[in-house]
Amino acid sequence: MANLKEIRNRITSVSSTMQITSAMKMVSAAKLKKAQDAITAMRPYAEKLTELLQNLSATLDGGAGEEFTTQREIKKVLVVAITSNRGLCGAFNTNVIKQAKNRAVFYAGKQVDFFTIGKKGNDVLSKSSSVVENQSSVFDDLTFDNVAAIAETLTQKFVSGEYDKIELIYNQFKNAATQIIQVEQFLPLASVKSNLNVIPSDYIFEPSKEEIVLTLIPKSLKIQLYKGIRDSFASEHGARMTAMHKATDNATEMRNQLKLTYNKARQAAITNEILEIVGGAEALKG
């Protein structure tokens, strides 16, 4: 059994860790509220924009926006992995990285490159795979304009023919304890031009359907990427809050066990001292 000093040191160490994890939990809980409100507020807008674009595309005869919807033979694939810049959030980053590697296996025989958003994904994927670009700094100032610039870069890579397909991988926010891994096709827009479930609406178009579609498609792509990053951002804080809550609970349990061990060891030491005193007294009597 460890001596009393060692046990006291361990109790102090665990107590300090518990204070840190508890503080991180509270910080993440505060940030989660703001991030959750942001993604909840923009989802209806993103869904309505997609619906409007599908309604317009279903009524078009020509090739408006064809550069965004062209289905080419898949030779080169770009996978956009959205992770976080910081750790201590459970399996949040690991799940995205694992799914990204699975996509590389899925496209075996084709060139698969990665575009990382988040330092944790870049640190891992850059060691074993081809990472063409990393945009971790977007989390320093997460605004639509900054994300729109990244979306334009990705769109240009597809339109220019540099890549035949672009996919997004991120954690979709459900609640603080649950994040769902999403694999979304970013380009080409396969479902925009032909969706049998879309019932065309009776709109009055001005200036024209074609011009409106050409305006909406780039905007829709920017919204899709912004929504994915916002989802990931909210999921990160939810995952970190949950992980720190579990860590605090574990530290509390460990501290209680150490205190019990300490009390037992202290009681044993006191008992031994009493026995020694009694034994010494009896020896003097003899």
Is residue 41 among the annotated active site residues? Answer: no
Distance between CA 151 and CA 269 in Å, rounded?
68
Burial of 82-103, coded b for 16+ CB within 10 Å and e otherwise, reads: bbbbeeebbebbebbbebbbeb
Answer whether 259's CB lies under 8 Å from 252's CB: no
Answer whether 144's CB lies under 8 Å from 222's CB: yes
Long-range contacts of 94-99 (CB under 8 A, 24+ apart): 95/171, 95/179, 95/181, 96/121, 96/169, 96/170, 96/171, 96/181, 97/121, 97/124, 97/125, 99/169, 99/181, 99/183
Answer whether 52's CB lies under 8 Å from 216's CB: yes
Distance between CA 166 and CA 76 in Å, rounded?
9
- List 11, 89, 125, 244, catalytic entry: 89
Distances (CA, A) of 70 to 50, 67, 163: 18, 6, 12
State the CB neighbour count (10 A cutoff) for residue 7.
19
Answer whether 3's CB lies under 8 Å from 201's CB: no
SS3 181: strand
Question: Which of the residues are catalytic?
Answer: 89
